[in-house]
């Protein structure tokens, strides 16, 4: 009989642990998240998409801004998945490169602006949870994740643009 | 060319529907946007109705020619994009009304959990033309504020009134921002927290964590290990399958987080790990993302392979950049 009760104890223990982890996530993360996302949503509504579009169009001329400021604006203001619709402001052969840069930013941004991709927070939060269990501050990781994210999307935009153009040229010769 | 109508009912744990659709001369394409070629459901619909099946990953088709889009979406993006474009959508995975575009996913345009047995030929009587299913798309406006602004337009507003209306408008914006946030938390964030807590609870309590520690930890606590993970996940055949809803990236993120918490992985490796587990981000969504950017079919045909190949190069490079940037972190 003690074996069975031990089994039941172990079984329930699994979900008590899960429950306490859930409580930790809800009390630790949700309150700040709700207030922060409400604030950012309000700003996006007040600024309005049209003003953002004109600003965004201006940044598509040069490669340096087309794969940094442009995707940041589209991911911040339109969030995932509508941010890719800003791809309509660039020429055809640049659209894959813009998509690559924008989609590669939808996770680095969630460290500081979770509203941009609330459906996929745990890419960052999963790892950040380990850092908080060690009692270390998160700000440093979140900021470096964002900054490295910007460098990576610039690199990805440039590499993908080069590959796309060579493939287009090869196709036109074939 | 004789076209027939088919009726598509939801699967056992599916949602929405039933849809009754029939191709017309202009709108007869069955667009299969599922990883790994054309899926059996799209093939069967095309065979029964006489429509034309197109692999959404190979090329894209103008929206007005698409009769129905078949996706295998994890619940964040693709399942909402086509209903927003008022195109009939079939989701192979049994996902309900979810994701940021859930407002557009209604029973008369979206059905999920569909298998081949849920598709049957029907007579012409009950055909729904896609225009008839006007998706109730816009988020419900708050009647009090809308009524307020209409009524005061008639006479010349004095100062007090315009201040009042301005304040009302701003408060209305804050209020709707709050509603949108709570809706997003309930629909997207809490479900994932429940799933992740269950996972962490079982891993920690049942000791599976130690097995994972021996398997995952050695890879993600050394730079060559992280580079290996990023190359494997970026393989062009694998990356579209690992991409949907970033579920794999989030689960691996949680696993690595648990190992960092237990000290098996040094904390400064958190930054390179964030990039090592995610070279496949968005690889399942390329054709849909490009269609949102109104790209031509030729651009999609070149864009999909171009990005998959580029990730083989940029995946590992991003890990190196993150490693260099992790000095002085913790």
Once rounded to an integer, what is the mean pLDDT over residues A30-50?
89
B317 touches chain A (CB under 8 A): yes
For residues A131 and B260, the answer to whether their CB atoms sit within 8 Å is: yes
Reduce the secondary structure of chain B to three states and give it as a string: CCCCEEEECCCCCCCECCEEECCCCCCCEEEEECCCCCCHHHHHHHHHHCCEEEECCCCCCCHHHEEEEEECCCCCCHHHHHHHCCCEEEECCCCCCCCCCHHHCCCCCEEECCCHHHEEEECCCCCCCHHHCCCCCCCCCCHHHHHHHHHCCCCCCCHHHHHHHHHHHHHHHHHHHHHHHHHHHHHHHHHHHHHHHHHHHHHHHHCHHHHHHHHHHHHHCCHHHHHHHHHHHCCCCCHHHHCHHHHHHHHHHHHHHHHHHCCCCCHHHHHHHHHHCCCCCCCCCHHHHHHHCCCCHHHHHHHHHHHHHHHHHHHHHHHHHHHHCCCCCC
The DSSP symbol for A61 reads S
| Nearest chain A residue to B311, by CA | A156
Q: What is the mean pLDDT of chain A?
A: 92
> Measured between CB atoms, which of A25, A39, A87 is closest to B295?
A87
Nearest to B181 among A38, A98, A99 (CB): A38
Using the predicted structure, report yes or no on whether residue B151 has a pLDDT greater than 70.
no
pLDDT tens figures, B230-240: 898 888 888 88
Nearest to B272 by CA among B204, B233, B223: B223
Predicted local confidence at residue A164, as pLDDT: 95
Task: Summarize pLDDT for B190-212 with one digit per residue, the tens.
Answer: 988 898 888 888 888 887 767 77
Cross-chain Cβ contact B318/A148 below 8 Å: yes
Are the Cβ atoms of B270 and A21 closer than 8 angstroms? no
**What share of chain A in percent tops pLDDT 90?**
67
Test A140 with B252 for CB contact under 8 angstroms: no
Taking an 8 Å cut-off on Cβ atoms, the answer to whether A123 and B270 are in contact is no
Buried b vs exposed e over B114-139: b needs ≥16 C-beta within 10 Å? beeebbeeeeeeeebebeebebeeee
Nearest Cα residue in chain A from B75:
A119
Nearest CA in chain B to A22: B197
Give residues 119 to 178 of B whose Cβ lies within 8 Å of A.
170, 173-174, 176-178
Residue in chain B lying closest to A40 (CA): B177
Residue with tokens 């036109």: A172
Q: What is the DSSP letter of A81?
A: T
The DSSP letter of residue A138 is S
Q: What is the interface size between A and B, counted as CB pairs within 8 Å?
A: 285
Say yes or no for a CB contact (<8 Å) between A120 and B246. Answer: yes
Residue A29 belongs to what H/E stretch? helix A2-47
Predicted pLDDT at B319? 94
Q: What is the pLDDT of residue A51?
A: 86
Residues of chain B neighbouring A133 (CB-CB closer than 8 A): 260-261
Greater confidence (A44 vs B136) lies with A44
CA B227 and chain centroid, separation: 27
Q: Which of A107, A145, A156 sits opposite B314 (nearest CB)?
A: A156
Tokens (6 digits) for B287: 């054709």
Q: What is the pLDDT of residue A152?
A: 96
Return d(Cα B182, Cα B103) in angstroms, integer: 14
CA A38, CA B261: separation in Å to the nearest integer?
A: 30
Nearest CB partner across the interface for A41, out of B177, B307, B314:
B177
Q: Given an 8 Å threshold on Cβ–Cβ distance, is A15 in contact with B198?
A: yes
Contact at 8 Å (CB) between B145 and B40?
Answer: no
Chain B environment of A13 (Cβ under 8 Å): 205
| Set of chain B residues whose Cβ sits within 8 Å of the Cβ of A80 | 76-77, 100
Measured between alpha carbons, how far is B33 from B323 in angstroms, rounded to an integer?
Answer: 36
The CA distance from B163 to the nearest CA of chain A, in Å, is 16
Look at A145 and B274 and tell me if their CB atoms are within 8 Å. yes
pLDDT in tens, A61-91: 999 999 999 999 999 999 888 899 999 999 9
pLDDT over threshold 90, residue B310: yes
Of B75, B307, B330, the CB nearest to A96: B307
> Inter-chain contact B330–A136, Cβ cutoff 8 Å?
yes
- B positions 53-112 inside 8 Å of A (CB): 75-78, 80-81, 99-101
Q: Is B288 on the interface with A (CB under 8 A)?
A: yes
Which of A98, A127, A128, A174 best tests the B interface by mutation, with the highest count of B CBs <10 A?
Answer: A127
- Cβ neighbors of B208 (< 8 A, separation 6 or more) are B202
State yes or no: cis peptide before B18, omega within 30 of 0: yes
Indicate yes or no: CB of B192 within 8 angstroms of CB of A122: yes
Quick check: B307 and A99 CB within 8 A? yes
Residue B110: strand pairing partners: B89
CA-based torsion, B276, B309, B93, B74: positive or negative: positive
B191 vs A: CB within 8 A? no
Judge: B252–A126 Cβ closer than 8 Å, yes or no. Answer: yes
Q: Which tens digits make up the pLDDT trace of A125-170? A: 999 989 988 999 999 999 999 999 999 999 999 999 999 999 999 9
Q: Which structure tokens are listed for B254?
A: 């949680």
pLDDT band at B254 (very low <50, low <70, confident <90, very high): confident
What percentage of chain A exceeds 70 in pLDDT? Answer: 100
d(CA B86, CA B70): 14
* Position with higher pLDDT, B318 vs B252: B318
More confident residue, A51 or A154: A154
B277 touches chain A (CB under 8 A): yes
Q: What are phi and psi of B21, to 5 degrees?
A: -130, 155
Cβ A100 vs Cβ B305: under 8 Å: no
Beta-ladder partners of B90: B70, B111
Catalytic center residues of B: 73
List the one residue out of B178, B168, B199, B259 whose CA is nearest residue A134: B259
* Contact partners, residue B171, CB within 8 Å, separation at least 6: none
Cβ–Cβ of B292/A160 closer than 8 Å? no
Residues of A in contact with B325 (CB under 8 A): 144, 147-148, 151
């Amino acid at each position: 009989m003690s074996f069975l009760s031990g089994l039941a104890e172990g079984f329930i223990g699994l979900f008590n642990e899960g429950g306490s982890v859930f409580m930790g996530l809800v009390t630790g993360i949700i309150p700040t998240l709700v207030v922060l996302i409400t604030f950012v949503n309000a700003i996006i509504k007040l600024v309005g998409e049209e003003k953002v579009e004109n600003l965004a169009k201006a940044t598509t001329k040069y490669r340096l801004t087309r794969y940094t400021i442009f995707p940041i604006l589209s991911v911040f203001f339109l969030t995932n998945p509508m941010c890719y619709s800003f791809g309509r402001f660039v020429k055809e052969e640049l659209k894959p490169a813009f998509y690559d840069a924008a989609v590669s930013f939808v996770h680095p941004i969630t460290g500081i602006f979770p509203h941009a991709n609330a459906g996929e927070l745990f890419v960052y939060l999963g790892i950040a949870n380990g850092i908080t269990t060690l009692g270390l501050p998160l700000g440093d990781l979140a900021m470096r994740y964002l900054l490295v994210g910007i460098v990576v999307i610039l690199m990805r935009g440039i590499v993908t643009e080069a590959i796309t153009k060579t493939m287009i040229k090869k196709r036109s010769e074939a | 060319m004789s076209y027939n109508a088919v009726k598509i009912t939801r699967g056992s744990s599916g949602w929405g529907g039933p849809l009754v659709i029939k191709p017309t001369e202009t709108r007869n394409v069955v667009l299969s946007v599922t990883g790994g070629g054309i899926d059996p459901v799209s093939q069967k619909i095309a065979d029964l109705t006489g429509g034309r099946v197109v692999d959404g990953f190979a090329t894209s088709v103008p929206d007005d020619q698409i009769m129905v889009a078949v996706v295998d979406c994890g619940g964040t993006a693709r399942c909402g994009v086509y209903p927003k474009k008022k195109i009939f959508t079939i989701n192979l995975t049994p996902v309900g009304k979810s994701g940021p575009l859930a407002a557009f996913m209604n029973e008369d345009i979206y059905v999920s959990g569909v298998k081949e047995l849920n598709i049957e030929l029907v007579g012409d009587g009950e055909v729904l033309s896609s225009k008839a299913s006007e998706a109730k798309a816009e988020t419900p406006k708050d009647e009090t504020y809308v009524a307020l602004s209409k009524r005061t337009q008639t006479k010349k507003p004095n100062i007090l009134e315009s201040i009042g209306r301005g304040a009302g408008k701003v408060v209305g914006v804050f209020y709707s921002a709050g509603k949108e946030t709570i809706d997003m938390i309930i629909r997207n964030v809490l479900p994932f927290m429940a799933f992740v807590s269950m996972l962490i609870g079982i891993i920690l309590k049942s000791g599976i964590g130690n097995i994972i520690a021996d398997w995952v930890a050695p890879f993600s606590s050394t730079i060559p290990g992280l580079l290996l993970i990023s190359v494997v996940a970026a393989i062009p055949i694998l990356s579209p399958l690992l991409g949907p809803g970033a579920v794999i990236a989030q689960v691996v993120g949680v696993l690595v987080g648990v190992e960092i918490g237990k000290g098996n992985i040094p904390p400064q490796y958190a930054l390179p790990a964030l990039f090592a587990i995610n070279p496949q981000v968005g690889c399942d969504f390329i054709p849909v993302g490009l269609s949102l950017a109104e790209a031509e079919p030729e651009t999609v045909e070149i864009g999909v392979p171009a990005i998959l190949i580029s990730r083989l190069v940029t995946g590992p490079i991003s890990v190196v950049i993150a490693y260099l940037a992790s000095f002085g972190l913790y």
